Amino acid sequence: MGRVSTKAPGACVYFVRARNACGVFVGPIKIGTSINPHARLAQLQERQNLSDPGLRLEVLAVVDGSYFRERSYHQRYAAHRLPLRQPPHGREWFTPAPELLKEIARLRRLHGSEAQQRQRLHLLVDQIGGARLEKLLEVAELLASQPTSKAAS
């Protein structure tokens, strides 16, 4: 799908994983970027069906951001990246390490489900307009990427 522009309104980083017929999550987690995670999920599912049609991919979490935020997640979990060219997965797939699962749970607590986030984003676009939202997303992404420091007591 290519890289999502760092200025694309509505760009987000998503976390996807497969669920088997028994409802159990299995296999690696994909960390990717899209302005439309549902369309991206459909593309990924088509590929998944070719390799294992019994698995259904699901979006685990979504957070506002674009390529730079995605890259920071990739760097953060680099030790858990699958070996390159491990079919059917590419370079954006990671083993479900406890720290990655913990981050996904944290994102879900902070931001709610992917559907709730999309609804909030569409309301923002309607309320403040695309150009202003684009600038807000840039600022929010910049702030989110800054290390936090604890004030001395």
pLDDT tens, 19-71? 998 989 998 999 999 888 778 888 888 877 767 888 888 888 888 888 899 99
Instruction: For tokens 């509505």, name the residue.
Output: 10
Structural domain boundaries in the chain: 12-144
**Per-residue model confidence (pLDDT) at position 71:** 94
Strand order in the sheet with 12-19: 56-64, 12-19, 25-34, 93-94
pLDDT above 70: residue 121: no
User: What integer pLDDT is reported at residue 152 of this predicted model?
Assistant: 42
Quick check: 131 pLDDT over 70? no
Angle of helix 67-76 versus helix 130-145 axis, rounded to 10: 20
- Residue 4 dihedral angles phi and psi, to the nearest 5°: -85, 130
